Structure 1
């Protein structure tokens, strides 16, 4: 054994229990009874009552590097991830330049990341009009799947797929069992909605109606039914789509769904006018909608919770919801934000690990991640679940100090984060250089 971590509360797939977790070669060698005596000379870290969670897996992160590295970067994003208990992330293919829509662009992305990541990092590919011939080569090069938009993405270099384009991409991906991940808002519904302008959040909310999500998800489900492609719905905001998704899953369609911390913890009623740090697409909706999302997490209709960390420079968050950049910076705060609301609703640490570690790991096929059990990577987050802190944007590690959680008091302090058996942060302070690895689909 290289070392042993001991805690009275270890979150395993079978529940929370006192245990010793033995690490060897960067992997979990055994999960042993709490009072097991390690071999003489083996270093032991006694965590007391602090909780040992599997390291979080965040499969929805916009690092924006290279090309828009003033918005974020691999060094800052992955350090924020580590400080927040995230030990693995998968980077989205857009907002960087070039977008990850060809193997050559993937090489550029990997070159920008190499030697700079504090946590293990993988990459999604992109599916855009005209790159159907690039999909299989990207798959063979190791991307975890392919992101597509059904409505404008916000950046010209990553255009959306129309219905014919979606069908063509689905057909290609089904042929080699590729995974299609989709930003599902219907462009027709958005075009018919009132266009946003000014500081009023209610006006912005009206511009992204629930029907836009529900219609687009219906289109996607029909495509899955027709072509047999595996598909994943990104950042579900509208609870109105849940019945169709539940029915599709009951039918046996290969569809999974995620939601995000901001949809589970924030509500439209509390967004001040002009507070565009709360702007994202699809939007934060009303409290009743939030309640329905929590119910869907509880019954398994929703598979995982990931950040959709989409940062920008502060100057792009002008107090006009029509023109401000849409995206919420939350990579370091997802764990405490979700835990704060989960504990209030009676959910457990086991639920938290399932939603934020096991579920995202399963989505990306990361078999070495997502659980504290023998054979997995020794990736851990040590959490003091009953302690609180107040969010200070200046204390966060992502590049630009803008977040919708500023000033909020959250439960759950991340004491330390461990990557392959080595402690990499202590109370948010890095203890090592960038020791993360670049991951490929296997």
Structure 2
């Protein structure tokens, strides 16, 4: 038997976020691209092993963001793989999973997936996986996309905002669930009911309260109810509810989980950190669907993370050019640009509530990795990829849009002071980002693991 290769890198931190317990002193040994051991903080390094002492900066597993709209190819002027993966690295994210829209073409066939991979491969500064799309008429493409390596499939139950990615009706949802159950595929669902949206007062003008009224709690609640009923009709169905904004859906999710349903759910930094009461008229950088809701609703989301009703926190980074964020909430593009800011935004709010860094990291790293089936990601543990985020929890900064690495300098966090600074990001044992500087693109394109 060949002896195990000695580590070539040892990272020491007084605050390593390990799979269990609060941050504690530890040394993480890296051999090639993987973590080979987690050792006591003072462990001696073998001869020739490089040692990096991080002091009191926290050592985190690289974050995993499973909800990112890169929009490349086709709308790369909104966001492309170069800018998206740089922004992600600067935000402590080492793996992102790209949504099947708003690229042109959307990722709804194997040929479209191949085109997206060709565009992403030379530009990715971090690892990138891909969701496929489930739209009317493409059920025959779902298994081939699965076999080509997509991690799961996204659908809408209401209009997506782009014509090339139409929603599924009730029959289409049943068809997709049946097709995916045949190979244990995962369906991710934008859950807003189109009938409740149509019946709600339609927004006009710059007033956020009017926009909020147009996306009522009932639209989310009814869509989640219909989804859970559809999943129950299909034995073995796996479903994931995207970007939960309404506390009204939480009892439905809790009940389904208690009954053994294979359902998970996410929320997003903007729902956990921003509130409807603070959004000025005309400030459409805050527009997203479903919407940012009231402060009392936000507290229920935090409780749902604590009790496990919600599983993970991911960005739903959905950027656009600045000209599409007109002051009219009816016509402005709906999406929050936050890829680089999710960790400090969530940490700022979590710390104020007494929630520890380890809990934040598990919801933003381990849980999304598990959702996407990425077993090599999400933890500081032997055998995992040596993906790290070096994070200074007590440091603070004020968000200046022009200094972000997103393609367009538009963000709902402009001018906010956030706690927590990403010092550096490491991908498979190599530094990808440090202090505003990036190494050459070295990301891998990930496929569904067997």
TM-score by length of 1: 0.99
Structure 2: distance between partners of 1:188 and 1:428 = 46
Deviation per residue, 1:335-370 (Å, 9 max, x gap): 000000000001111101110000000000000000
Q: Which residue of 2 aligns with 1:67?
A: 74
Given that residues 60 and 92 in structure 1 are in contact (C-alpha distance below 8 angstroms), is that contact kept between their aligned partners in structure 2?
yes
Deviation at 1:428, TM superposition (A): 3.0
Q: Which of 31, 37, 52 pairs up with 1:30?
A: 37
Give the 5 Å matches for 1:397-436: 397-430=405-438, 432-436=439-443
Q: Which residue of 2 aligns with 1:383?
A: 391
Look up the match of 2:345. 337
Distance 1:424 1:57 in 2: 15
* Paired position in structure 2 for 1:369: 377
Q: Once the 2 structures are TM-superposed, how far is the Cα of residue 319 of structure 1 from its aligned partner?
A: 0.3
In structure 2, what is the Cα distance between the partners aligned to 1:144 and 1:121?
11
What secondary structure, in the 3-state scheme, does the structure 1 residue paired with 2:114 have?
helix
Partner of 2:210: 203
2:3 matched to which residue of 1?
none
Q: SS in structure 2 opposite 1:35?
A: coil
Q: Report the Cα offset of residue 141 of structure 1.
A: 0.3
1:250 pairs with 244, 255, 258, which one?
A: 258
Counterpart-to-counterpart distance in 1, 2:329 and 2:20 = 45
Provide, for residues 141-181 of structure 1, a one-character-per-residue CA deviation record: whole Å limited to 9, x for no partner.
Answer: 00000000000000000000000000010011011100000
How far did 1:316 drift? 0.2
- Aligned 8 A contact 1:414 1:428 in 2: no
For these two proteins, the number of residue pairs brought into alignment is: 441
SS of match in other structure, 1:12: coil
Structure 1 residues without counterparts, runs of 5 or longer:
none
Work out which of the residue numbers 95, 105, 109 in structure 1 matches 2:102: 95
The answer to whether the Cα contact below 8 Å between 2:8 and 2:48 also exists between their aligned partners in 1 is no
Distance in 2 (CA, whole Å) between partners of 1:143 and 1:423 is 27
Give the Å deviation of 1:306: 0.1
Shift of 1:381: 0.5
Question: Could you list the per-position Cα deviations for residues 402-430 of structure 1 after superposition, in whole angstroms to 9, with x for gaps in the alignment?
Answer: 00000000000001000001111112321
Query: Offset at 1:69?
Result: 0.6
Match of 2:92 in 1: 85
> CA–CA distance in 2 between the matches of 1:169 and 1:52?
41
RMSD (CA atoms): 0.5
Deviation (angstroms), 1:135: 0.3
1:278 matched to 2:286? The reply is yes
- Looking at structure 2, the residues matched to 265 and 349 of structure 1 have their Cα atoms a distance apart, in angstroms, of 16
TM value normalised by structure 2:
0.98
Conserved 8 A contact 2:107-2:113: yes
Kept after mapping to 2: 8 A contact 1:84/1:428:
no
The match for 2:60 is 53
User: What does 1:72-221 correspond to in 2, within 5 Å?
Assistant: 72-221=79-228
| C-alpha distance in structure 2 between counterparts of 1:41 and 1:136, whole Å | 48
Do the aligned partners of 2:197 and 2:219 also contact (CA within 8 Å) in 1?
yes
Query: Which residues of structure 2 form unaligned runs of 5+?
Result: 1-6
Separation in 2, partners of 1:419, 1:197: 46
Query: 1:198 and 1:378 mapped to 2: Cα distance?
Result: 49
Alignment of 1:283-362 (within 5 A): 283-362=291-370
Report the Cα distance in structure 2 between the residues aligned to 1:427 and 1:441, rounded to whole angstroms: 33
CA distance in 2: counterparts of 1:222 and 1:428, whole angstroms:
48
Deviation at 1:216, TM superposition (A): 0.2
In structure 2, which of residues 246, 250, 253 is the aligned counterpart of residue 238 of structure 1? 246
Query: Is the CA contact (8 Å cut-off) linking 1:82 and 1:428 kept in structure 2?
Result: no
Could you list the runs of 4 or more consecutive aligned residues of structure 1 that deviate by over 4 angstroms after TM superposition?
none
Q: 1:261 aligns with which of 264, 269, 276?
A: 269
